Amino acid sequence: MFGTVCTPIMRGKMAEHAHVGLLTDEALLHNIAHGCEDCFDLLFLRFFRPVLNMAFKIIRDRSEAEDVVQEVFLAIHEQRERFDPSLGSARTWVIQFGYYKSMKRRTYLWNRQFYAPHVDEDGDGRDPALVQPEFIQRSAEEKEIIEQGLACLNPAQRRIMELVHFEGHTLREISQMEGKELGAIRNSYYRGLKTMKAMLTDGVRRTQVRAVAPAKRREEYEIEL
């Protein structure tokens, strides 16, 4: 596949390009958006391992993680024109997509343990009551704000958030690791996520987060169990 030249069908849509040597991730996505299947293959080969690692970290199941990888690249293939290079790098976008799909699958799998007959059988995880949000690419500025929001949490809340979202631990596992009651861990996670939501979804959050951060940190510390 490497060293080939794009098909003549695509020549009218984008500049002719060779797949010899390295193309940037953004260039690959650009070419994919213009119908270059070879670039899609290159993108898959380039991001298969990172997305698989991300999915396995979140889901803890190899076959489910591999399935998530398939879902991710199917979605990229379907929504290839959605990537906006002005918001962030292609690499972040792909792995963020992998994270989004992994979390969605994780929630689906967890809920299916109890309500398998009532959950959509196609594996999409859509629940009429628990509607999953659409994937939205976040900008670099938003990433910085999110990191600041995490920094505003008290240490216990921040650690729980990181263990859940970045390490893929369940709250029960965290309860055993930290030697605390599950109820306390659940409440601490709830308050951390609530703080993040307040900062990221309220109207003033994106402009005032820097000013509010110290006061909010103190407040969170006071109500921490």
Residue list 51-110, contact with other proteins (CB under 8 A): 53-54, 66, 69-70, 73-74, 77-78, 80-81, 88, 91-92, 95-96, 98-100, 103-104, 106-110
Those residues with Cβ within 8 angstroms of residue 137's Cβ, 6 or more apart along the chain or in another chain: 82, 83, 84, 87, 88, 93, 96
- The distance of closest approach from Cβ of residue 179 to other proteins in the complex, given in angstroms and rounded to an integer, is 19
Question: Which of 27, 75, 123, 127 forms a contact with other proteins (CB under 8 A)?
Answer: 127
DSSP per residue, 131-167: PPPPP-PPPHHHHHHHHHHHHHS-HHHHHHHHHHHTS
Question: Does 13 interact with other proteins (rule: CB under 8 A)?
Answer: yes
Those residues with Cβ within 8 angstroms of residue 184's Cβ, 6 or more apart along the chain or in another chain: 175, 225
- Give whichever of 61 and 127 is closer to other proteins, judged by the CB atom: 127
- Give whichever of 2 and 210 is closer to other proteins, judged by the CB atom: 2
Q: What number of chain residues touch other proteins (CB under 8 A)?
A: 79
Question: Does 223 interact with other proteins (rule: CB under 8 A)?
Answer: yes
Q: What's the CA gap between 225 and 223, in Å, rounded?
A: 6
Question: Does 211 interact with other proteins (rule: CB under 8 A)?
Answer: no
Alpha carbon separation from 162 to 17, 93, 170 (Å, rounded): 41, 20, 11
Question: Does 173 interact with other proteins (rule: CB under 8 A)?
Answer: no
User: By CB under 8 A, which span of 15-23, 30-38, 206-214 interacts with other proteins?
Assistant: 30-38
Decide: 26 and 89 in contact? Cβ < 8 Å. Answer: yes
- The distance of closest approach from Cβ of residue 125 to other proteins in the complex, given in angstroms and rounded to an integer, is 10
